[in-house]
Amino acid sequence: MSELDIEKLCSGLFSDVMDRMGWKHQIITGFLKNKSTVNFMGRARTVLIETKDTDDENIRMGLSFLGQCKKGDILIVKGSKEFAYFGELMTKLSTQMCIEGVVIDGLTRDTNYTHSLEVTLPILAKGYSPIDIKGRGRVQQTDVPIRIDQVEIRPEDLIYCDNEAVCVIPKEIETEVIEKVKEKLADEERIANLIASKMSVDELLKQVTEF
């Protein structure tokens, strides 16, 4: 992972590479973001939320788990479309823990704060609501496999996020994906240089097999 220059990456690279490897359901789209541009990578740490009429939101489990996260981790929450999980205080705690970013399959809140300039933590969510988890749901499990849309996410999977998508790279193919992404980056740089040389399309097509 450290061999990749994150500034040169995009979700399209990972999507193309994993498509060719036969892993066609590793991309998740449809997230709103709290920053105008997001670009981060790290290891998945998962939280599973259940909808339940309860006075116990299991805050001890949720906060203890957050306290175990470290630099380079990405918090991925299987949340709810009925209530929000994660807001101002958890943003501050996550920033203190040097978490790379947060991805919530559900709602989050406190956007007056989380969208402010002082917040550096990227937060992706499916929507926003002031309605709180209290009395409506609880943290059920942490660091367990979860599923968002068609994509399974397991703890320690490699995650890359940008403006367009969340890319899930399973551990068993991570090394191969990284090598192929590096190769594709080099090939795209070569093509960009050919374009910059102002050669004709006919000449370009003699040297390029795909675009």
pLDDT (0 to 100) of residue 200 = 72
pLDDT (0 to 100) of residue 58 = 87
Q: What is the pTM of this model?
A: 0.91
Architecture of 6-171 per CATH? 3-Layer(bba) Sandwich (3.50)
pLDDT (0 to 100) of residue 16 = 95
| Sequence-separated (6 or more) residues with CB below 8 Å from residue 45 | 65, 69, 73, 74, 75, 76, 142, 143, 155
- C-beta of residue 159 within 8 angstroms of C-beta of residue 167: yes
- C-beta of residue 145 within 8 angstroms of C-beta of residue 48: no
Q: What is the pLDDT of residues 11-29, one digit of tens each?
A: 999 999 999 999 999 999 9
User: Which parts of the chain sit beneath pLDDT 50?
Assistant: none
Q: What is the pLDDT of residues 131-144, one digit of tens each?
A: 999 999 999 999 99
pLDDT (0 to 100) of residue 92 = 95
Output phi, psi for 193, to 5 deg. -70, -35
Domain boundaries, the chain: 6-171, 178-207
pLDDT (0 to 100) of residue 1 = 53
The rounded mean pLDDT for the chain is 92
DSSP annotation string for 4-63: S-GGG--HHHHHHHHHHTT----EE---EESSS--EEEEEEEEEEEEE---S---HHHHH
